[in-house]
Amino acid sequence: MKKVLLTGVAGFIGWKTGKFLLEKGVEVVGIDNMNNYYDVRLKEYRKKDLENYENFKFYPVDIENLGALEVIFKDHKFDCVINLAARAGVRYSMINPHVYMTTNANGTLNLLEMMKKYQVRKMVLASTSSLYAGQPMPFKEDLPVNTPISPYAASKKAAEVMAYTYHYLYGIDVSIVRYFTVYGPAGRPDMSIFRFIKWIDEGKPIILYGDGSQSRDFTYVDDIAEGTILSTKELGYEIINLGGGKNPISLNTVIQTIEKYLNKKAVIDYRPFHKADLKETWADITKAEKLLGWKPKVSFEEGIKKTVEWYLENREFLKDIEVGNE
């Protein structure tokens, strides 16, 4: 690859994926609408880091804006589109479902239309483990994920299906990567690990939904970025899990590990379990190993250590970052 369009480039995964591509010498055209779903200062922090590379160009564009996308596709010849732009978050999707459909589904459709028109042959589309709700574990890609339990998951399913349609009709090569709970330095402040670190360090009560026994297949951001880049290879149409692939880790274990590296004890404010959340996630990553030669390298313990270290190094900047209460 010589030139890639990377959407959601100031997002958590977009930033790290872009950084790895730039370090490989790939020209990255990044777009992001810099919305305020969470504190924009973190997005600015990531974007500023990418702007240190000469082979990076940024456009403040929303993938819902077809006219703006047309200008970018006219001006650049892309080898691949990596679509990481999305409205994320299960709970907020229940409050504002319309924006999830317009961004996650219609935005993906806009990109596919531009790819068809300007003959870009490859898309990597970010999707989610939230689609596996109610399925047996470990989750395999061929499970019938036809009953999403949140507008967020439903909008991601819509994007997957639309991408298949464009593969079938127009021969666009599509890799759909289903991410499993991504964490790491400069992560999303609405996600549990960022919030737990900040709350424990500041002596504020952790808001915990459920009893903490619910578990996730946590995956370090560097591993996710590597898997995303490997997915740019020609595959036809494939859905690929990118997750830790080992036994899921409970939120109680997460809290204990953060306590260890902060050397502080958590105060916990228990709340009722949210019905749109999954009790447990666990990825079968056999397909990723077979098709991409990918498997995660960073252990959960090491990943938490790195994340806490980053937090402590940037504590002054992060003290004013809003993490919300929901």
Cβ neighbours of residue 221 closer than 8 Å, sequence gap 6 or more: 12, 13, 16, 182, 183, 184, 185, 187
Q: Dihedral, CA atoms, 255, 224, 60, 94, nearest 10 degrees?
A: -50
CA angle (314, 7, 98) in 5-degree steps: 100
Which CATH number goes with the domain that contains 91?
3.40.50.720
* Residue 304 located in a structural domain: no
Whether residue 273 lies inside any domain: the answer is no
Does residue 166 fall inside a structural domain? Answer: yes
Query: Would you tell me how many other CB atoms lie within 10 Å of the CB of residue 271?
Result: 11
Catalytic member of 152, 166, 179, 220: 152
Q: Within a domain: residue 130?
A: yes
Provide the residue range defining the domain that includes 70: 3-182+220-242
**Is residue 288 situated within a structural domain?**
no
pLDDT of residue 149: 78
CA–CA distance, 188 with 185 (Å, rounded to integer): 9
Q: Whole-angstrom Cα distance, residue 219 to residue 234?
A: 24
Residue 170 annotated to the active site: no
Per-residue pLDDT 10s for the chain (326 aa) are: 899 999 999 999 999 999 999 999 999 999 999 998 889 999 999 999 999 999 999 999 999 999 999 999 999 999 999 999 988 777 778 888 998 989 999 999 999 999 999 999 999 999 999 899 888 889 999 998 888 878 898 999 999 999 999 999 999 999 999 999 999 999 999 899 999 999 999 999 998 888 999 899 999 999 999 999 999 999 999 999 999 988 799 999 999 999 999 999 999 999 888 766 668 889 999 999 999 999 999 999 999 999 999 999 999 999 999 886 54
Under a CB-based contact definition with an 8 Å cutoff, are residues 252 and 191 in contact? no
Is 0.85 surpassed by the pTM of this model?
yes
In a domain, 237, yes or no: yes
Q: How many domains does the chain have?
A: 1
Residue 194 lies in a domain: no
**Residue 272 included in any domain:** no
Q: Please answer whether residues 238 and 291 qualify as being in contact, where contact means their C-beta atoms are separated by less than 8 angstroms.
A: yes
217 burial via Cβ count (<10 Å: 0-12, 13-18, 19+): buried
12-24 burial, b at 16+ Cβ within 10 Å, e below that, comes to bbbbbbbbbbbee
* Residue of 55, 281, 291 whose CA lies nearest to 175: 291
